[in-house]
Amino acid sequence: SVYFNVIIWYIFLFEKVLGFFPPSVEEISKDGKSWLVCTSCLPFCTCICLLSALHVLHFLPLPGSEIAVYEGDILLRRGRRSAINCDSCLWPKSQDGLVKISPGPLLFLAITERSWIADALQEISTLTCVQFVNRTTETDYVYVERGCWSYFGKIGGRQAVGLVKNGCMDKGAIQHEMNHALGFIHEQARSDRDRFVKIMWEHIVAGNFGKMNSKNLGLPYDYSSVMHYGAYDFSSTPGKPTIVPVPDPSIPIGQRDGLSNLDVAKINKLYKCNCCSSVLPKPKGSFSSVNYPSPYPNNSNCLWLIRIRRSKIFLQFEAFDLQRSSDCSSDYIKIYNGNSKSSPVLLDKYCGKGPLPSLVASGSTMLVEFASDESITATGFRASYNRGFNLKTQRYLAVRNICIPIDVHNSLHKQVLP
């Protein structure tokens, strides 16, 4: 009938073109099974037709496929239990040394959801050679569906990843699922995990805590990884942990604030990226140029991403000595008000000897870039950061997010102020 044909076209518009369920239908999970239910007041017959047709379109197995759900959120092809041991699961590298992945259109998402996903993927792009670029004619690409899951490594063609669901829209949760697509297992599934955590089998819902024969890339176990389960995940008994760090059970696990330093290192090592980058996620800390206080190396290009949860960032330099050049074109430091080089500039290229102004980010991330050329070097820099302002007794003049000590602001180089 015409009525049924309209329903079918309605389904195809949402499911096949936009890639998600119609607004009258919602997927829910219970006891490890997926169900489709009506969520609107459409006529009963319309709802039944929608559910029936969606069942055929969405759950029909692909001919010859051998895909199973593994550990709750991984769609796994048989024989590919760890992309760390599977070169054919990796995304290819371009001639320019970048691994370019194209997410499909996010038309069905709200603006806020799009921004959350973009922010999470940008952090990966900033710190690694994996770059998320707009799709043009690529035949292998990822596209976002509703859910919280991912295929394991690159499978080819139109590759779905579930990112839109309550509990799956935190930055670290989005990165967690995308890291599965890049070819990473759960951290506590590493072959050496028993040296670092104890699995409390008596508190566990069946499955979800398998161990793989992984090579681990020669990098340490990472309690802070976005790929690590939380202490109470999949617990069959409220208040009872399923995974306990050893020997210190108080070590926090399961954070979803964003990539850890070792998460970044693993991506860069697996994909053979030539990147010098670090994450600074603690409420306060310090960092310095390579070899400080000895001279930094030639031809350096390093990034530090300061990320403090729900707080502005205050940055100050305690020592600063970079090769001086015209317009700081040789060696320089540059600071961005955000998590990428496309973010607004807080401090443009700056070189020579201090003093350097203190800076305040308007949000919870700040990116510090340091570059050197092939010639003369100097001792470099040492800097510290903390949450918000900590100006002690020094009087400061605030200019465009730059805090300039009043007794030195008249002697600043022209490169300081944007």
Give residue-wise pLDDT tens across range 257-316: 999 999 999 999 999 999 999 999 999 999 999 999 999 999 999 999 999 988 899 999
Known binding-site positions for Zn(2+): 176, 180, 186
Catalytic residues: 177
Backbone angles phi, psi at 284, to 5 degrees: -155, 155
Sign of CA dihedral 181, 145, 160, 135: negative
- Tens-digit pLDDT profile for residues 203-261: 997 778 988 888 899 999 999 999 999 999 999 999 999 999 999 999 999 999 999 99
What pLDDT is stored for residue 213 in this prediction? 86
Sign of CA dihedral 281, 285, 288, 292: negative
- Tens-digit pLDDT profile for residues 91-115: 999 999 999 999 887 777 888 899 9
Q: What's the whole-number average pLDDT of the chain?
A: 80
What pLDDT is stored for residue 407 in this prediction? 37
Question: 385: pLDDT confidence band, cut at 50, 70 and 90?
Answer: very high
- Tens-digit pLDDT profile for residues 10-38: 444 444 334 444 444 444 333 333 334 34
What pLDDT is stored for residue 59 in this prediction? 32
Whether 7 shows a pLDDT value over 80: the answer reads: no
**Stretch among 49-58, 313-322, 339-348 having the lowest mean pLDDT:** 49-58
What pLDDT is stored for residue 393 in this prediction? 32
Q: CA-to-CA distance for 280 and 365, rounded, in angstroms?
A: 10
Strands (E), 213-364: 243-245, 276-280, 285-288, 301-307, 313-322, 332-336, 345-350, 352-353, 358-360
Question: 43: pLDDT confidence band, cut at 50, 70 and 90?
Answer: very low
Residue 9 exposure: Cα atoms within 13 Å on the Cβ side: 6
Whether 142 shows a pLDDT value over 60: the answer reads: yes
Q: CA-to-CA distance for 224 and 16, rounded, in angstroms?
A: 38
Question: 77: pLDDT confidence band, cut at 50, 70 and 90?
Answer: low
H or E element: which one contains 178?
helix 171-182
What pLDDT is stored for residue 207 in this prediction? 73
What pLDDT is stored for residue 67 in this prediction? 67
